[in-house]
Amino acid sequence: MVNQMKIGIIDYGIGNLGSVYEALNELGVTSCLVNRPSEMHTFDKLVLPGVGGFKSCKATLDDFGWTEAIQEEVLGFNKPILGICLGMQLLADFGAEGVAKDEFTKGLGLIPGKVVSLKSLGCKERVPHVGWDDVTSSVSSHYLMSGIPDGTDFYFVHSYAFIPDNLDVISASCYYGGVDITAAVSQKNIWGTQFHPEKSSKAGYKLLQNFIDGNQC
């Protein structure tokens, strides 16, 4: 039975769109690629995928009118959004990837915080962080991680990490190379995962189902 909810996958020319689309369809929800900012208003929830660099992807969002439109939908109309991988990082105020030292690119500003390199955090393992790694939910974990046991493996591919201003928005974390990495964030109607749920087997599908079913919190 198909869920009557409509989820729009933001297609700004960058990202893991096919795998996200297939995962949502397998879960029985109606999902479509959103090709123009004006189309977002017709969907119940949004997914912001992302693969590549913070600076270049944000420039694309700016140049094609996505930035203001996403801010209006999410902050103005309280529309739920799930950022995946770089899509989660873009939720932040600022990102350090692709710019000179001590400089930042302005993000979407949906969850206060910044995105910095794993090496700058003191990561002692290989970067990028690629592969399966276990995730632990926070004490005040959001519905996003509901029904997912601590220690469950998810699939990561990243060299930068989101450091939120308010640590209470961290729904889950991952320990890698001697540092704690923000694995998932949530603030009211705004959710994000550093890992790829659409590539993370049953646990990833459970998280996507939580996003489909979840109310604003």
- Cα dist from 34 to 16, 17, 66, 115, 210, whole Å: 14, 10, 11, 26, 22
Q: Are 88 and 111 in contact (CB under 8 A)?
A: no
103 is catalytic: no
Tokens of 23: 């995962």
Task: Given the residues 129, 142, 158, 196, select the one marked as catalytic.
Answer: 196
- Rounded Cα distance between 150 and 145, Å, is 9
Task: Given the residues 57, 85, 123, 174, select the one marked as catalytic.
Answer: 85
State yes or no: cis peptide before 164, omega within 30 of 0: no
129 is catalytic: no
Q: Are 59 and 67 in contact (CB under 8 A)?
A: no
85 is catalytic: yes
Residues known to be catalytic:
85, 196, 198
